[in-house]
């Protein structure tokens, strides 16, 4: 194999359950160490499962392409549904478009590729949160904390990173650190205070003085 070349199959990349197990994620970019663009895959075990989580790319400004590699999916783009059998390419140049996709057939697989059209790519802060969630739900909350603390060094004022770190620190028993990071998340993004009211991960903190109110 030439230096700098690598050949793998998507099935060789561990599938990580994220979003409380609703989404099955193959972290291709992290596994391959790709730095020029984002690329990941998602596989649905059964029809009805998510293969693209509901989101926009407005915060990051990313242009995205989704390719249905196997099976069939229904994409909902800006509230409008589109049928997407294997071989379909979905291009979203506008990062503000809200998108989500569900599998129509068992084993549906979608490849997602994206990055900023007018700037150098930087790995998205949600990636370490996804990796950490898989560890936390797999009984390794300390491993999850380590991943997100490293992400916080790279994104010190990212409210989502701070909020996720607070969740994982709570699960790991680092309650003082969790309160500090949760308060900072609320300062930067007040709506996180509303999330905290019903987030089971943060339940052990709710009776502590200073817990953010909605």
What is the pLDDT at residue 112?
98
What is the pLDDT at residue 198?
94
What is the pLDDT at residue 126?
87
What is the pLDDT at residue 125?
86
- Convert the pLDDT of each residue in 156-179 to its tens digit: 999 999 999 999 999 999 999 999
Low-confidence ranges of the chain (pLDDT < 70): none
What is the pLDDT at residue 1?
82
What is the pLDDT at residue 74?
98
CB atoms near residue 126 (< 10 Å): 19
Domains belonging to the chain, first-starting first, are 10-115 (2.60.120.10), 126-205 (1.25.40.10)
What is the pLDDT at residue 138?
78
Can you state the angle between helices 159-172 and 126-137, rounded to 10 degrees? 10
């Amino acid at each position: 194999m030439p230096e700098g070349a690598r050949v793998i199959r998507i099935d060789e990349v561990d599938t990580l359950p994220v979003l409380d197990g609703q989404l099955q994620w193959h972290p291709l970019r992290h596994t391959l160490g790709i730095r020029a663009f984002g690329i990941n895959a998602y596989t649905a075990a059964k029809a009805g499962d998510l293969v693209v989580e509901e989101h926009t790319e407005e915060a990051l400004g990313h242009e995205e392409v989704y390719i249905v590699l196997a099976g069939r999916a229904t994409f909902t783009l800006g509230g409008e549904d589109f049928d997407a059998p294997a071989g379909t390419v979905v291009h979203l140049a506008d990062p503000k478009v809200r998108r989500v996709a569900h599998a129509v057939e068992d084993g549906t697989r979608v490849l997602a590729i994206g990055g900023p059209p007018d700037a150098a790519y930087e790995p998205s802060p949600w990636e370490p949160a996804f990796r950490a969630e898989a560890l936390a739900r797999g009984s390794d909350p300390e491993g999850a904390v380590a991943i997100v603390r490293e992400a916080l060094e790279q994104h010190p004022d990212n409210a989502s990173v701070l909020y996720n770190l607070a969740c994982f620190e709570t699960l790991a028993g680092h309650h003082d650190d969790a309160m500090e990071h949760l308060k900072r998340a609320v300062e930067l993004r007040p709506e996180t205070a509303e999330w905290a009211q019903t987030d089971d991960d943060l339940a052990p903190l709710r009776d502590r003085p200073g817990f953010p109110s909605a």
